[in-house]
């Protein structure tokens, strides 16, 4: 069962001043999620080319993308993530174009050495799945 997110992005675990890196952005992403994160942190999201440590990560993932690529992106994103900050995979909700099954994300996460949490509704069209390294909490 999906949990429902708040309207201010606090459920992501980001804080004021955090630098959040965004992976696999495309023009189908939910700009309201992006705006909520930027409003919460007070910082613009940075892209994959940002070359310093970050405090959090969001990865936009759609069905039809290569699962092996997702595992690689998770590994790359985790490598620049400081102090086990929040790492989220955002996928279109079931019934929406590009909807990916949570089992696909869980499989890619496992391949990358991560655990995937239960999907959380983060907007009307997108779910979020928080990832954690094995042995790093809930």
Q: What are the structural domain ranges in the chain? A: 3-133
Query: What would the two tokens of residue 66 be?
Result: 């290569």
| Sign, CA torsion 95/72/47/119 | positive
What pLDDT is stored for residue 2 in this prediction? 45
pLDDT grade, residue 7 (50/70/90)?
A: low
- Give me the residue label for tokens 């070359």: 51
Mean pLDDT, rounded, of the chain: 89
Q: What mean pLDDT do residues 16-40 have? A: 96
The enclosing H or E element of 128 equals strand 126-133
Look up the CATH superfamily of 3-133.
Answer: Vaccinia Virus protein VP39 (3.40.50.150)
Instruction: Say if pTM beats, i.e. exceeds, 0.85.
Output: yes
Separation CA 6–CA 85 (nearest Å):
19
Q: What are phi and psi of 30, to 5 degrees?
A: -90, 105
Instruction: Find the angle CA(48)-CA(53)-CA(18) to the nearest 5 degrees.
Output: 90
């Amino acid at each position: 069962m999906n949990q429902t997110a708040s309207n201010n992005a606090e459920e992501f675990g980001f804080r004021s001043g955090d630098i959040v890196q965004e992976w696999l952005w495309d023009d189908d992403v939910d700009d309201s999620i992006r705006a909520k994160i930027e409003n919460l942190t007070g910082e613009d999201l940075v892209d994959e080319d940002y070359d310093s440590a970050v405090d959090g990560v969001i990865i936009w993932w759609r069905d039809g993308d290569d699962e092996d690529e997702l595992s690689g992106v998770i590994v790359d994103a985790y490598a620049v993530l400081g102090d086990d900050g929040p790492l989220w995979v955002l996928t279109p909700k079931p019934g929406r174009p590009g909807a990916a099954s949570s089992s696909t994300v869980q499989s890619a996460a496992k391949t990358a050495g991560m655990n995937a949490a239960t999907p959380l509704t983060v907007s009307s069209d997108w779910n979020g799945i928080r990832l954690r390294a094995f042995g790093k909490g809930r």
